[in-house]
Structure 1
Amino acid sequence: MNRVGYAAEVTVSDGQRFASLGAVTVRNRRLALLWLRRQALRLAYGHGHGSDVKRESLQLPTADVRPALFHGSDAPEGLRFWATDGRRQDDAIRALEAGFPILFTVADPAVGLSLTLAGWRGAPADLQVSVGPL
């Protein structure tokens, strides 16, 4: 029996091009959301507003995303809010459960960059979403 897993990815875009900071394929939606939350907090706290993110007791079979440097505080605050707000996390897990992708984007207007967290059912190539004009 072929089991469909879940994929998650963090990308950055300047409106013309985008690049992946890292991606993962895991066996269930909870692991995909856990990975996205961890990446959101790592990126937010890498900005210097808070303590370092503690490693969860559950080790995922992938590395963390490459770091991103934010020039303002809006993007890190948005990432922290998304990762720690219970209602948004509940909405995300319900969307994944229903078979819909989740997308969350924060912008760093100081340099014109946006960072997108995405999760979906299937393999990484199964979601064809453009985070900016190509």
Structure 2
Amino acid sequence: MRDLEYVAAVTATTGGGGALWLGGIAVPHRRLVLRWLRRQALRLADGHGRDLPPASPWLRARDVRQITFHGSDPPKGLRAWADDEGRQDEALHALESGRPALLTVVDPAVGLHVTLAGWPVGPDRPLATPVPPGEPSSQGRDLTPCCSAPP
């Protein structure tokens, strides 16, 4: 899998089905995807109700646009995932084996779903985003935090 590149994206969907692209990146290594996703999870959580931390200076990375959460569950879920070494290892192993790594947090007050995803791309893999959590799929693993699962 040395010839693969990796992409990551953060999206938000509302209960009405509207989707919003918050940002994304393409990088040459799975560890950089995970590093970027972890940074975005912490930025989104830390930006809840405050100004965002400064943008990242590394690897032409662009940080995602901030969104407002109406409850405290999504920031807690984002922090829990970013700070959990076991979940980080699971995400890294998913990417290593050619599957997407997905994290979805839910703001039940407004039906907002925020998904952080990373997946490999290359000559034998599509550039399209992976199937969102909750949809039928034969690949990927839903890494949704237990405390932020949809009702």
TM over 0.5: yes
Gaps (5+ residues) in structure 1? Answer: none
Alignment match, 1:121: 120
Q: Give the Cα separation in 1 of the matches to 2:23 and 2:78.
A: 16
TM-score using structure 2 length: 0.76
Paired residue secondary structure (2:35): helix
Percent identical: 52
Between 1 and 2, higher relative CO (CA 8 Å, sep ≥ 6) is seen in 1
Paired residue secondary structure (1:117): strand
| Aligned residue identity for 1:34 | R
Which aligned segments of 4 or more residues in structure 1 are displaced greater than 6 angstroms?
Answer: none
Paired residue secondary structure (2:78): helix
Preserved contact between residue 119 and residue 130 of structure 2 (Cα < 8 Å): no
Alignment match, 1:37: 38
Does the alignment pair 1:8 with 2:8? yes
Gaps (5+ residues) in structure 2? Answer: 136-151
Paired residues for 1:99-110 under 5 Å: 99-110=98-109
| Aligned residue identity for 2:103 | F
TM-score using structure 1 length: 0.85
Count of equivalent residues: 130
Q: 1:86 to 1:41 in 2, by over 3 A?
A: same
